[in-house]
Amino acid sequence: MRLLNILLLVTLVGIAGCESREEARRKHVVNNLKQLGLALHANNATNPEPTDTGESAPSDETSTKASENVATAVDAKDEAIKKDRKLIEGTWRVIAVEIDGNKLEGEAARKFSVVNGNDGTWSLRSDGNEVSKGPSTIDPTMKPKTIDFTPSEGEGKGELHLGIYELGEKTRKLCIAPPGKGRPAEFTSPAGSEFNLVTFEREKAK
């Protein structure tokens, strides 16, 4: 396991969401549900005496309520993403890293920082020099909250990482799996897991 390379990969994460993608998905779901309601209504009109299966077909009102419920759930997720994006924007200093059971602390860890933009982008810095960057997506409605990211530049370019995150006002924590492995279920990095546990603290704006 290349310790430094893994460290570079896990510390580059920026908590961000893609609101436009979520909005498009919401509209797609709502439209599909509405179309389903219309299709059922048309089918009942042309076949007034369907075979009794013991189950009644959804009414237009039921379909409309279902679509509204889905839209509400998606809107709530969008708001949660906006909230976490606002909290994460800025510069964060790495204060501790645990990789596959091996700990890295002190100045060796603090040389790394990540700068998060409000558009969901992130930039990993080592001694102030950018070494990687890319986008990430989150789902704050999951427990624990989930994050996926793929570096677009630097070490690990194009490789998908699945992880979880915990976000506070001044600190945050990430647990990330290497490419090809399933998402961690908790914030631990025992020997043999290959998981990467990273702790950050927010840097004061200059």
Q: What CATH number should be reported for the domain holding residue 14?
A: 2.40.128.280
User: What's the pLDDT score for residue 72?
Assistant: 75
Q: Which of 34, 53, 82 is the last residue of a domain?
A: 82
Across 7-11, 44-48, 172-176, the highest mean pLDDT is recorded for 172-176
> What Cα–Cα distance (Å) separates residue 20 from each residue in 27, 82, 139, 142?
11, 12, 14, 20
Residues 52-64, mean pLDDT to the nearest whole number: 61
My answer on whether 55 and 96 are in the same domain is no
Q: Are residues 67 and 150 in the same domain?
A: no
Q: The tokens 């060796």 sit on which residue?
A: 108
Kindly state the average pLDDT of the residues 165-179. Answer: 94
Task: Give the structural domain span for 101.
Answer: 3-18+86-202
**By percentage, how much of the chain surpasses pLDDT 90?**
51
User: What does the pLDDT read at residue 2?
Assistant: 44
Burial class (CB in 10 A: 0-12, 13-18, 19+), 14: buried
Domain boundary residue, one of 82, 105, 127: 82
- Please tell me the predicted confidence (pLDDT) of residue 11: 43
How many structural domains compose the chain? 2
Q: Would you place residue 22 in the very low, low, confident or very high pLDDT band (cuts 50, 70, 90)?
A: very low
Residue that terminates a domain, selected from 32, 51, 82 = 82
- 115 and 125 fall within a common domain: yes
Q: pTM of the predicted model, to two decimals?
A: 0.67
Residue 90: pLDDT band by 50, 70, 90 thresholds? Answer: very high
Q: What is the pLDDT of residue 29?
A: 45
